[in-house]
Amino acid sequence: MKTEWLRKTIQDFEPYFVAPIAEKHVINANENYFNVLSIPAVKKELLEALDSFQPQIYPKPMADGLREVLADYMGVRPENIICGNGGDEMITYLLGTFLNPGDKLLVHTPTFDMYELGAETLGASAIKVKDLAGYRRDREGLLAAVKKYQPKMTVICNPNNPTGDLLPASFIEEVLKAADNIVFVDEAYMEFAQKESVVSLINKYPNLVVLRTLSKAFAFAGMRCGYLVGDKEMIEAIAKIKAPYNLNAFTQLFAPIVVRHKEELFKIRDDIVKERARLYDELVKIPGLTVYPSCTNFLLVQVERKHEEIFKALKAKDILVKIYRNSAELPNAFRISVTTKDVDDTLLSVFREELQ
C-alpha cells in the first residue's frame, strides 16, 4: 500500500507488537491469573442472566446497568461515568475529545505508551518529564512543566506502569490547582495500591478525569471493560465522540455480576499483593539485580548482565515476562506480573542461577 495514503501523523508508526505466546505462564501483560468463572455464584448468575439475554438487540448506548454498579463501587453518580472497551478505548475517546493538532500533552516518562501514541495520531505531541533516579516521579519538574507550558492535557499514571511508583493524591491536587486544562489520571492499578485515588476530587475539579478498568484487579481483561470517572459535563463531552453502541451487550451483562462479587476478587488481590511483597524481598537479595518498590501487581526489574539470556532461560521454564529491548529509558529491564508462588519460585530460581 502507498505510504502517502496513510494519515500523515501515523506514517512512521510501527505496528503495535503483541508477543506471540507459547508459554504456559504468561506474566508479560499484568493480567490476573484468576478466572472469575471459578466463583460458583458468578457462573450461576451469568447463566441465569443468559436466559433473558437478547444478542439480536443493540446494547444500551451508555451501559446503564453497568454504569450504576460502577457508580456505586466508585461512590459517585451514574452521570459521572462513561464505559467502553477497556481503558485503551477510553484513552482514545478522551484524547479525541480534547486534543487539536499542534496541542501539547504533558506526561512523565517512562510510562504507558498509549497516551503519546494517541496524541501523535491526532497531530498533537508529548512533552515528557523524566523520572528521577529509581524511577520515582519528578514532582517539582512536573509542576514546573504544567505552569510553564499549560499543556492541553496533563497525564499522570498512578500507580505508574511500568515502574509501580505511587504519587500521593495531595500532589495530584497540586497539579489540578496549577493546570488550566485537562488533568487525566490513569488509575488502572489503583485497586492494588488501595490508597491515593483522586476519584473523590471529581466534583471539586471539573478539569479532572480518572480512568479505571476491570482488566487488572477484576480479572476481566478478555471482556474489555474500562471506564472514565469525571464531572457530569466532562462525561457528556466525551460521550459526544463515543460510537453509539461501543460496549457490547455481553460485557454489559457479565461485568456487573463480577463487580458485585468484588469481595471475592479483593481476596485474590490481597494474595497478589502479599506475593508481590515476598517476590520483591527475594529479588532484592539477588546480586546484579535491581528491583523497584511497586504498588501494583507487577515489578520492574533491571539486571547488570545476561538480559537476553535470562529472558530465554525463563522461556525455557515456560515463563513469558515483558522484556524491554534497546530501551534508553529502561535499559536491561523486565516487567514481571505477579501471579502465584509456584511461578515466582521458578522465576527466582532462574534469576539466581543466571546471576549468582
Ligand X SMILES: *Cc1c(COP(=O)(O)O)cnc(C)c1O
By C-beta, is 175 or 247 nearer to ligand X? Answer: 247
By C-beta, is 151 or 226 nearer to ligand X? Answer: 226
CB of 9 to ligand X, least distance (A): 22
Rounded CA separation 12/286 (Å)? 40
CB of 156 to ligand X, least distance (A): 11
- Three-state DSSP at 39 gives coil
CB of 298 to ligand X, least distance (A): 9
- Phi, psi (rounded to 5 degrees) for 279: -60, -40
Task: Spell 251-281 as b/e; 16+ CB within 10 A means b.
Answer: bbbbbbbbbebeebbeebbebbbebbeebbe
Distances (CA, A) of 140 to 108, 130, 136, 292, 333: 12, 11, 12, 21, 26
CB of 210 to ligand X, least distance (A): 11
Helix, strand, coil distribution of the chain in percent, nearest 5: 45, 15, 40
Rounded CA separation 24/339 (Å)? 13
CB of 215 to ligand X, least distance (A): 3
Question: What would the grid cell of residue 205 be?
Answer: 475539579
CB of 355 to ligand X, least distance (A): 28
By C-beta, is 185 or 253 nearer to ligand X? Answer: 185
Rounded CA separation 175/161 (Å)? 19
By C-beta, is 87 or 110 nearer to ligand X? Answer: 87
Pairing of strands 25-27, 319-324: parallel
- Three-state DSSP at 97 gives helix
Task: Spell 45-75 as b/e; 16+ CB within 10 A means b.
Answer: bbeeeeeeeeeeeebeebbeebbebbbebbe
CB of 305 to ligand X, least distance (A): 28
- The footprint of ligand X (CB under 6 A) covers 30, 86-88, 112, 157, 161, 186, 188, 213, 215-216, 221, 226
